[in-house]
Structure 1
Amino acid sequence: MKRFLTILFSSLFILSCTNIENNKNENVIKLQTELDSIKKIITENQNSSKTQIATFLTFQKENAEQAMNFYIKLFNNSKIINIKRWEKGAPGKEGTIMHATFSLNDKLFMCSDSPAIHDWGFTPAVSNFVECKDEQQLNKLFSKLSENGKVMMPLNNYGFSTKFGFVEDQFGVSWQLNLK
């Protein structure tokens, strides 16, 4: 009987340890799954809560689309992301841009054709600064952006860079073009 009880208790102990080990493995898997889910939620919240800053261009001459197309042809890695147009009966002229999103060399921009004509327009005090990779790119951008626009500072060495130019394009948007 003593031997039977010893075998019984030993068997129960082994069985108990096996159950504990199985439960431990199940719990580890459950905890890892839960941890992975929490990490995913935190990552999604961090990504959605980041403040995105984009340049927004308000056009008042119904030429937002023309300007946007001009810019995306001028800069590499550029594309139209989304366009929402004014519909018939809306405050803006039908077919013009209510809101568009585009990127210029992977930098986010937005634009619209404003139905209201404001007392203000674009100002050179706020401009797009472009760091050019070489002199060829600088000359091309300067030439294209100043065409039918206004040269505010011709290409030159002003002491703070190798070559620099400041232009207002045909749409009234200002550009500082720099070569280190």
Structure 2
Amino acid sequence: MAIKAATPYFILNGRTEQAIALYQRALGAKLETLQRFGDVNQSCPAAMKSRVMHAMLRVDDATLMMSDGPNEEAPPRGGSVSVALTIDDPDQARRCFDALATNGQVIQALIDAPWGGLFGVVCDEFGISWMFNSARVKSS
């Protein structure tokens, strides 16, 4: 069992599309995924529907992920970048999540996410935001 990736995740407070255009132009990034809040949740407020919930860019072998975030206020505690961890074992993901939460703050408890993963966000005691994604355990 190992951590499979550590990927920067930019929370851009309504500026994701501008950032995508810049990274495409400046870095030759290729847009691989773009989901809006309204694509995933039709009952979200009208002002949220067109905001980018998640975007993924490929720059050669590197991945950049980003979101407008849920509002246009100041970036969340920990700045505007989160480290997105993909962990292949859900039990290990829970252990790591809980360890970082001990003296930190749970932003999003671990949940069964709509894309089929186990997902959660925690801000550690140093103000670093960590996003966890792991496969779910299949029921027998």
TM-score of the superposition, structure 1-length normalised? 0.31
TM-score of the superposition, structure 2-length normalised? 0.40
Comparing both structures, which one devotes a greater share of its residues to helix?
Answer: 1
| Larger Cα-atom Rg | 1
